[in-house]
Amino acid sequence: MPKRNHFISQLAHVEIYTPHLEETVKFYIDTIGLQESDRKDNSVYLRAWGEFFHHSLKITEGPEKGLGHIGWRAESEEDLLEAVEFIEELGCGEGWIEGDIGHGRAYQFRSPDGHLEEIFWEVELAAIPEEEKSRWRSRPQKHPGGGFSVRRLDHVTLWTSDVQRHREFYQKLGFKHNEAILLDEPVNKEIGGLLAVTSLSHEVALFSLPPNHPNESNMNHICYAVENREEVLDAADFIKEHGYKLDMKPSKHAVGEAFYLYALDPGGNRFEIYAGSPLYFAPDYGPVTWRVSENPNDAWSESNILVGDKKD
């Protein structure tokens, strides 16, 4: 067990592209319960009610759906500089940018497949109007009471051409490899991975794009957490009442044991709502290994979309 890098303290934000900016923003505000922090050029910055930072989702208009970039916050200014030095040694650095609304200068780098990421230390806290501040200080604002509202960004799941290579990339950056999904014997190819830098199940997951998924970008989905499974169930009603379809109705993953649902936002990006995954504190917890035939996506279903069954 080598000493683990602790450059990164958390997943701070994700940028996604959408061909339909206003409809997409409306979906995340009216149906998912995010709040608009700011707008600039063709981007809108959103945050969940339980988040202290300026934003966790940046939605940018573009010709195609997909991942813009992933933003990681460092553990400290000193950790940021050490991380940059380390990333430059890895040879995947893109250089410093001045920052963005909501955070200070950031160092950009790319995953082996070219997913754009950045690390930074300075953050701007959300500006909460006095009357929206909560009497409970572990929440940055009162619960907005907007029907259904996710609490915080949880993770991002990427499509990759080579799971093992990306998994090793994140491990170098200090991520724990908590869970792995393999093709069945005798092939054993690594087709999925869950990696975490905190006590969460994962902040980044990696999957091999299966054949016959022509409509996918470089990102499988982004995921926000809610308090409990009841809220996932309420979200299902709320999304349907707003006229959207569910991409996968509420169920439980075998991997990570989270209770979930998926919807597609109006730009076509997949969005997950999530609760109930256990916390993993042991640095040597994983990798816990699943076979694709064990239906790691759905703990309760007898059909298995990973081996070609119909979804839902």
Residues 85-124 that bind a copy of itself (CB under 8 A): 123
Q: Is 187 in the site for a copy of itself (CB under 8 A)?
A: no
Tell me: cis bond preceding 211? Omega within 30 of 0 counts. no
Output 110 or 291, the one with its CB closest to a copy of itself: 291
What whole-number distance in Å separates Cα of residue 21 and Cα of residue 90? 35
Is residue 246 classed exposed, middle or buried when 0-12, 13-18 and 19+ CB atoms within 10 A define those classes?
middle
Only one of the segments 18-26, 93-101, 209-217, 234-242 lies at the binding site for a copy of itself (rule: CB under 8 A); that segment is 234-242
- 302 touching a copy of itself, by CB under 8 A: yes
Among 4, 39, 40, 189, the residue binding a copy of itself under the rule CB under 8 A is: 4
Q: Which residues contact 131 (CB under 8 A, 6 or more apart)?
A: none
Sole binder of a copy of itself in the list 38, 61, 198, 209 (CB under 8 A)? 198
The amino acid occupying position 67 is L
Distance of CA 220 to the CA centre of its chain: 10
Closest to 259 (Cα-Cα) out of 271, 275, 246: 275
Greatest C-alpha distance within the chain: 61
Decide if residue 29 touches a copy of itself (CB under 8 A).
no
Residues of this chain, 240-259, that bind a copy of itself according to CB under 8 A: 240-241, 245-246, 249-252, 254-257, 259
Query: Binding mask 46-65 vs a copy of itself (x if CB under 8 A, - otherwise)?
Result: ----x-xx------------
**Considering the complex, what minimum distance in angstroms separates the CB of residue 246 from a copy of itself?**
6
Number of residues that bind a copy of itself (CB under 8 A): 78
> What Rg value do the Cα atoms of the chain yield, rounded?
19
Interacting residue with a copy of itself among 283, 293, 307, 308 (CB under 8 A) = 283
Among 26, 229, 244, 264, binds a copy of itself (CB under 8 A): 229
- The answer to whether the CB of 75 falls within 8 A of the CB of 7 is yes
Residue 259 backbone dihedrals phi, psi, to 5 degrees: -90, 130
Q: How far is the CB of 199 from a copy of itself (least distance, A)?
A: 4
Closest approach, Cβ 177 to a copy of itself, in A, equals: 14
Q: Is 42 in the site for a copy of itself (CB under 8 A)?
A: no
What is the dihedral angle through the alpha carbons of 265, 266, 268, 271, rounded to the nearest 10 degrees?
Answer: 0
Q: Does 282 bind a copy of itself (CB under 8 A)?
A: yes
Q: Say which amino acid occupies 4.
A: R
**Shortest Å distance, C-beta 277 to a copy of itself:** 7
Answer whether 196's CB lies under 8 Å from 275's CB.
Answer: no
List binders of a copy of itself among 141-170 (CB under 8 A): 142-148, 151
| Nearest CB to a copy of itself, comparing residues 2 and 63 | 2
CA atoms of 288 and 5, how far apart (whole Å): 21
- C-beta of residue 117 within 8 angstroms of C-beta of residue 109: yes
Question: Should residue 265 be labelled a site residue for a copy of itself when binding is judged by CB under 8 A?
Answer: no
